[in-house]
Amino acid sequence: MAPFADTFWRGKRVLITGHTGFKGVWLSLWLQSLGAEVFGYSTSSPASSLEGKLVVPMQTFRGDICDSSEVQSALASAKPDIVIHMAAQPYVRRAFQDPIGTCRTNVIGTATLLEAVRQCGSVRAVVVVTTDKCYENQDWDWAYREIDRLGGSDPYSSSKACMELVVRSFRDSFFSADRVDGRRVGVASARAGNMLGGGDWGKDRLVPDMVRSFAAGRPVVLRNPTAKRPWQFVLEALRGYLLLAEALYEDPAHYSGAWNFGPGAGDVRSVEWIVKKLAAAWGAEAKWEIQPGQHSQEAQMLRLDCAKAAKELSWTPILDLSDALQMTVDWYRDFYAGTNIAETYADQIAAYSLQANAKWEILSAAVPEA
């Protein structure tokens, strides 16, 4: 693979669905910094958020991801080379409250998007973002590989497993063989887990809930402090998505399929560990406490085996978890201080990109010439 911040993205037309979400904003800004022409498709505008999400200057389309005419119209107008599909219902608890809506958005929305891609002659690569929870959790100790069984015993997980089946069916039915015009479309799914980073205002997520409590001077209340989860900085997974999109564009036959992007084994930490580290980084006013009594049992931890991404894409995590937490705190501190948050995004993207390129140079030097 070439260095990450090379010339590949310059002038590429990229459509991001769900561009107003936590990951969507980071990805939009990063692609713009690489010289891509970025288009967005979403049901909402970030300007409507009471917590002030950044409005990224770009051409956008507003519409329902399940509305085939709106999605096809957006692709016909944007004429993207690459599509990154991130529009989804991303909350586990909300899925219990609205299982039909979750299934509609995640499953039918994905099928609608891929059908629109089938009708759009400009697209050469599609990355569909799902989750590590698409795997059927067997409660085993080892990490899940891309070939392991899909499944889900709750509405959110099952919707994500179904997304994967939709991606595979469209890929095998419509995008695997060469077209009459000689053009082939690379289609892949990207599976990642719990992410840290500024700009996440989601409800019932540990770090956003902590930040809101710290900023308001309230203690964070923990229900299951011993629950362990794998954690990674948001740009780690996004780097994987971008490397995958580039590889799909260049060699769709080889890189189409499913890909894991998860943290190293050392970044599997308990909720209590995360809270202590984040509180220490935030400052003396950060408080937390454990809620007494019995609480619902947390799901068994699920880890990803990312050997495929390491071998084929030269992707491995870069940041220590402590550094990821510090960057997260720095972002929210800047936000609450009234700093121009666009500059914070840009600074963190630039700093991370330097580390990514340095890591690539180290890996390249270790590979003997043919």
Give me the CATH number covering residue 193: 3.40.50.720
Question: Which pairs from 152-156 meet CB under 8 Å and 24+ separation?
Answer: 154/92, 154/95, 154/96, 155/95, 155/96, 155/99, 155/102, 155/103, 156/89, 156/91, 156/92, 156/95, 156/96, 156/102
Asked if the structure places residue 235 within a domain, the reply is yes
Distances 161 to 115, 134, 237, 270 between C-alpha atoms, Å: 19, 4, 19, 26
* Residue span of the structural domain in which 20 resides: 13-291+300-361
**Contact criterion met (CB below 8 Å) for 15 and 83:** yes
Asked if the structure places residue 286 within a domain, the reply is yes
Q: List phi, psi (to 5°) of 113.
A: -65, -45
The set of residues, in sequence order, having a beta carbon less than 8 Å from that of 334 and lying 6+ positions away, is 198, 341, 344
Asked if the structure places residue 192 within a domain, the reply is yes
Asked if the structure places residue 7 within a domain, the reply is no
CA pair distance 13, 39, nearest whole angstrom: 8
Asked if the structure places residue 153 within a domain, the reply is yes
Mean pLDDT of all residues belonging to the chain: 88
Per-residue pLDDT of the chain (370 residues; tens, 9 = 90+): 445 556 899 999 999 999 999 999 999 999 999 999 999 999 865 544 435 567 788 999 999 999 999 999 999 999 999 999 999 998 888 999 999 999 999 999 999 999 999 999 999 999 999 999 999 988 787 899 999 999 988 999 999 999 999 999 999 999 987 655 556 899 999 999 889 999 998 887 889 989 999 988 898 888 778 878 889 999 999 999 999 999 999 999 999 999 999 998 788 888 889 999 999 999 888 888 876 655 444 456 788 999 999 999 999 999 999 999 999 999 999 999 999 999 999 999 999 999 888 876 776 666 555 4
**Contact criterion met (CB below 8 Å) for 78 and 96:** no
Per the listing, tokens 């409005």 go with 55
- Going by DSSP bridges, is the β-strand pair 268-270/228-233 parallel, antiparallel, or unpaired? antiparallel
CA pair distance 42, 105, nearest whole angstrom: 12
Q: Per residue in 181-210, pLDDT tens?
A: 556 899 999 999 889 999 998 887 889 989
The set of residues, in sequence order, having a beta carbon less than 8 Å from that of 221 and lying 6+ positions away, is 288, 289, 290, 291
**Contact criterion met (CB below 8 Å) for 71 and 46:** no
Asked if the structure places residue 6 within a domain, the reply is no
107 half-sphere exposure, CB direction, 13 A CA radius: 18
Provide the domain count of the chain.
1
Whole-number pLDDT of residue 298: 47
Asked if the structure places residue 242 within a domain, the reply is yes
Residues in the chain: 370
Whole-number pLDDT of residue 290: 78
Structure tokens at 107: 């499953």
CA pair distance 129, 164, nearest whole angstrom: 9
The set of residues, in sequence order, having a beta carbon less than 8 Å from that of 299 and lying 6+ positions away, is 137
Q: Per residue in 266-309, pLDDT tens?
A: 888 888 899 999 999 998 888 888 766 554 444 567 889 999 99
Structure tokens at 65: 């991801």
Question: Which pairs from 43-52 meet CB under 8 Å and 24+ separation?
Answer: 43/87, 44/20, 45/20, 46/20, 49/201, 51/201, 52/335, 52/341
Question: Could you tell me the pTM of the whole model?
Answer: 0.92
Phi/psi region, residue 314 (left: phi>0; alpha: psi -120 to 50; beta: rest), is left
Whole-number pLDDT of residue 139: 77
Asked if the structure places residue 366 within a domain, the reply is no
CA pair distance 363, 224, nearest whole angstrom: 39
At position 212, the amino acid (one-letter code) is R
Whole-number pLDDT of residue 53: 66
Structure tokens at 223: 């229900």
Whole-number pLDDT of residue 4: 55
